[in-house]
Structure 1
Amino acid sequence: MRFVFETLRSASWLRLQPGNTIASTILIICALTLGGCIDIGSNNNSTISGASPTPASTPVSSTTDRSVRSSVLPIRDRDDPGQLLGSAVIISEDGFLLTSIDVIDSSMEVLLPDGQTHRPALVSTDQSLGLAMLKIPETDLVKIEPSTERPSDGTEVFANGYDGAPDEPGRINGSIAGTTQPEENGDYRVRGTQIYDTDMNLIPGFVGGALTDHDGNFCGILVNDSSPNGDATFQAVSQWYVIAWMEDRERRMSDLREQTETWETTNLPGEWMISHPEDWGTAVQSDSEDRYRAELAPADPDVPLQLAISVEENDFGTDPDAFADDVFSGRDSARIWSISEIEGRALVRATMSQEGALVDVAYLLDEEFLIAISLTSGYQPDADHAQVDQARALFETVVQSLESSQ
């Protein structure tokens, strides 16, 4: 660039000489070319050296792939339903969703295709990749199907999400512009994960949505370009992240189910039984035919977990929806995790924050007794996702160990 300016200064006399307009123009072009500021190619198109490529600006069109329409959901502001926060992708039939961490908000709600809304529970986050896992109390969702191929540079891909109207998904098309590999940090989710760069313009409502190939197969979660010189285009964390997360969740559950064979079993009122880790210390506060309460904690004092089990007469009835409204409607931090059954009895599971601690709770609605199980954790979803995943797998295993002795 210094050469260019010096050349222009040395050529300034040409502008003072009549009839030298053409000569001065030629000299200036030559100077810019030699200085690297103008690239003259065979197609006669000139680009300024060092400038970022212009992202593709394909208009948003209606998403026609049926599976994508069912598997990508809008996330909006519960206090302002017209405000779209982003999108989320269904990754399991029982209500697990994946989205961008930029979409997370205390007032967010997920809108289903049938018009139902849910305030999702935050399962965990991965700050290194900018992703967040959510959970809603649904059991028959249509999960997105991951592609078995890694899209190569130049492959046509589609960004799927919501732009404006939350009842109509849309898509834009573009291509893979490159891939990057996250730094290894020992996290199972990062190993083998790629981040795809695209040439598609960033649309806020699409953030957290799905990157798909030409056949509608899932290739990644759309996130903001996190590079220092981000140019307002989409990036996508590859589908292998999702596969690794779900496989790890199944592995944790399988390992814990095997351990239940050595767990201690406690008899509860109403002829119910429950199992828990045998090395956890137990402090029984009450034990009678119609009432029971105990608190359990790991032998290792550095593990910030506390399990509580209580049984009392059921004054709420057996309707899980009515119970959820009665118990959780006044708790702003409460989120319903799931509504299911154990041996024909309704089971309501929720998560909430209490005095800075994460609390998972489950209530079994027996006709005679109300059985409550809670796990209080010092781990936080936005910082300790691996520990949170393990703690929640433990809690789910304890809850599923409930069985009637009749």
Structure 2
Amino acid sequence: MRLKDLEVRHASPREKDYKLADGGGLHLLVRPNGSKLWRMKYRFAGKEKLLSFGAYPSVGLGDARLERAKAKIALAEGLDPGAGNESRKGKTFEQVARAWHANRLSGLDDAHASRLLRRLERDAFPAIGGIDVRKVTAAQVLEMLRSVEARGPLDVSRRIKQHISQIYRFAIPQGWAETDPAQYLTDLMQPKPRVRHMPRVGVAELPTLVRAIDQYDGDENPRRRAVTRAALLFTLLTWARTNETRLALWSEFEGLDGDDPIWRVPPARMKMEREHLVPLSAPVVALLREVRQFSTGKHVFVGDKLGQPISQNTMIYGCYRMGYRGRQTVHGFRGIASTWANEAECYKADWVEMALAHVEQNEVRGAYNSALYLTPRRRMLAAWAQYITCLNGAHGV
């Protein structure tokens, strides 16, 4: 049964690839990422082969049928419609983009290479992937970028624009394209919003904050009170982000009984999607042993629901109950620690940035090493823990 344009237009992605047949070998391949690609199966010289006609909606149903008719004519004349097809039609943007990506793989770490390709597959390929790379216009690229901006992630739209220009710098010297359609689009994109720093107290007010955390009494439930206190202190001492702390698993901690204990945070929970190693100071190890009595499952900081971690708001509400609403956030702990380390003038900026998991997005630097500066970072975090302990006086951490 022949396809109708309405069926093609409203074909929704599923968990796996699926096909909508139009007859004569022509079908629409619908991918989980939402892309819709025209394909045609045929046999030549006893072998099954596949033709690609581009992506819908850039190539409509009528256009795909026309390409099928041309292929049938070639077959009737004893010719392979796939032979020389690339030179006749030129390379599509997706073909060139994948060639560019493959060319760069050796210089990228796996996580970054995967992120880069996912951006193109999610946004660029469905919009312009099936178009001859020579025929992609600035207006088509801009329309695609604005659809990304409409979702909210302005940093992603700018990265995709950067990738497109890199793809054309790869294509032009090889004769696959003449100009870069993304070259003059920067001024037409939405400006990046100003960075809003999380509220935090100054280093001079840190002693009061530390004592407030250590003596936390913002909850009537003793277990909940102890877990909240431990989570806040743990976050302060490790420079972790809220989700990195609250979703911490016991299986991520190594060598707690040895000389060099480590917290190995998996890529899935890191903002940059890269593994992060946190060297643990003696007070942190002691804190983990203390909180172990309240943990009955895989999570370190257990919430009220059986087998579940503390909620997203547990620690920030703890700050509110201590009287720091609008003055101090949990994320702001990182800013205090960074200020302390930089003002100490004995810790290199690279150590501080690595401890904060602020890794430079420079693809040229090659593979990312999660153990980078691990020894000096261990000394730095140990000194920070000692500083916090001294601020707390006789109470200890």
TM-score range, shorter chain: under 0.3
Tell me which protein shows more helix as a share of its residues: 2
- Normalising by structure 1, report the TM-score: 0.26
**Higher-strand-fraction structure:** 1
Q: What is the TM-score normalised by the length of structure 2?
A: 0.26
